[in-house]
Amino acid sequence: MFVDEAVITVKAGDGGNGCMAFRREKFVPRGGPSGGDGGKGGDIILESSEQHNTLLHFRYNPEYKAERGRHGEGSNRKGKDGEDMVLRVPVGCVVWEEESGEKIHDFARPNERIIVAAGGRGGRGNARFATSTNQAPRNSEPGETGQWRKLRLVLKLLADVGLVGLPNVGKSSLLSRISAARPKIADYPFTTLEPCLGMVRVSEEESFVAADIPGLIEGAHLGHGLGTRFLRHIERTRLLAHLVDASEIAGPDPERDFRIVQEELASFQPELARRPMLLVASKMDLAGEGKRLQAIEELAAREHLPLFLISAVTGQGVEKLKGGMAAALRVLRCSEAEAGVATAPASPATRNGPSPSPEGERE
């Protein structure tokens, strides 16, 4: 089950109380205050992990509490610090403060760690209050309360190429053809109800990750169809492959299909519509006389987009498309390196599972 959003509450451990005690031992000529400090409460830590690709483990266990610090003891014995609690999240997870809407952190790389709730400081024992004029203090401090927070976790896919298009244009079929992913494929719209990722191997040294984004319809940015739930998964992709159905039964106007998806991308986030893109004419085995294909070719020429003709069923043009995607990604990576942009390449283990805020950068 793919879960890309979860709300959790975290409570760091309270600090232990300081101790009030006095030393009274045989053969010890000087006694005095000997109360130790309380231990520090455990922190709540979030860590990005490549071993997780969904937030499912948070959906059914939404409350987490770290260990409290032990109280101080006599003979100047400090209480034991509470153990930190480490919660592992997938790479690509964005953490938000639920009540304020503040963005806390965006996990773009594996093994990143942040403290989201700090443990309380331990209280001081009475030994710490001894002075030359107050040699037998009878006061100690209670431990501080650990931090409590309510967090919203939102997962965004980390993929190099995003496959976009209207429902039923062949995105899932293409992904299953170029990778080992096995998304559900059927002859009705909205077969794909959750994003699916696949590792595409171009050669022994080169590979990239492609994401099948559930079909968009007109008004998706307003919540129609599958709504904005999966639009955010396109945000981290470097390259978009826009699939347009070339079959005879798809209707007379492929440009309208193209514009619908482009407008939805722009309405959700204007930069998405300007992202580097390949135009892919799918279902070439059903193109018939090719009138719709001719319209797609004219569209590609007007938009200055590279056009690839494929059939996921017969394999026509698939290898050429893989090579085109890989070449475009190489150019983009070089451009990013020259511009000094730190890129976070998608990781195979992370990429099976992801709005600017929980509702689109906190709309």
300: domain CATH number is 3.40.50.300
Q: Is residue 29 part of a domain?
A: yes
Residues 275 and 322 grouped into a single domain: yes
- The answer to whether residues 47 and 134 belong to one domain is yes
Q: Tell me whether residue 346 is in a domain.
A: no
Q: What is the pTM of this model?
A: 0.65
d(CA 363, CA 268): 10
- 291 lies in the same domain as 167: yes
Please report whether residue 353 resides in a domain. no
pLDDT at 296: 92
64, 97: one domain: yes
Together in a domain, 121 and 193: no
Structure tokens at 19: 């101790």
Among residues 200, 256, 267, 199, which one has the least CA distance to residue 231? 267
164, 213 Cβ separation under 8 angstroms: yes
DSSP 8-state class, residue 45? E
Dihedrals φ, ψ of 90, to 5°? -70, 150
Residue with tokens 């979860």: 6
Query: What does each C-alpha distance from 139 to 22, 24, 38, 175, 196 come to in angstroms?
Result: 12, 18, 14, 69, 61
Reading the block at residue 180, the tokens are 């080992």
139 and 260 together in one domain: no
Domain residue limits at 135: 5-155
My answer on whether 193 and 124 are in the same domain is no
What is the pLDDT at residue 352? Answer: 36
Please identify which residue in the block is written with the tokens 């451990």: 13
For the CA atoms of 170, 173, 177, 183, the dihedral, rounded to the nearest 10 degrees, stands at: 140
What CATH number is associated with residue 107? 2.70.210.12
Please indicate, yes or no, if residue 282 is contained in any of the structural domains. Answer: yes
Residue 363 domain-assigned?
Answer: no
Contact 288, 251 (CB under 8 A): no
Cα angle at 303 between 163 and 255, to 5 degrees?
A: 70
pLDDT tens over the chain, length 363 residues: 567 789 999 999 999 999 999 987 777 777 789 999 999 999 999 999 888 878 888 988 999 999 999 999 998 999 999 999 999 998 889 999 999 989 999 998 889 999 999 999 999 999 999 998 998 899 999 999 999 999 999 887 777 898 988 888 888 889 888 887 676 565 545 545 567 778 888 887 788 888 887 756 655 445 544 555 667 777 778 899 999 999 877 777 889 889 988 888 888 888 888 889 999 999 998 887 778 899 999 999 999 999 999 998 899 999 999 999 999 999 988 887 777 644 444 443 333 333 344 444 433
Instruction: Give the number of domains in the chain.
Output: 2
Are 192 and 328 found together in one domain? Answer: yes
**Domain shared by 132 and 62, yes or no:** yes
Q: Does residue 348 form part of some domain?
A: no
172 and 306, same structural domain? yes
Domain closes at, from 155, 185, 218: 155
In b/e form, how buried is each residue of 124-152, taking b as 16+ CB within 10 angstroms?
Answer: bbbbbbeeeeeeebeebbbbbbbbebebb
pLDDT of residue 228: 56
Strands 5-11, 63-65: pairing kind: parallel
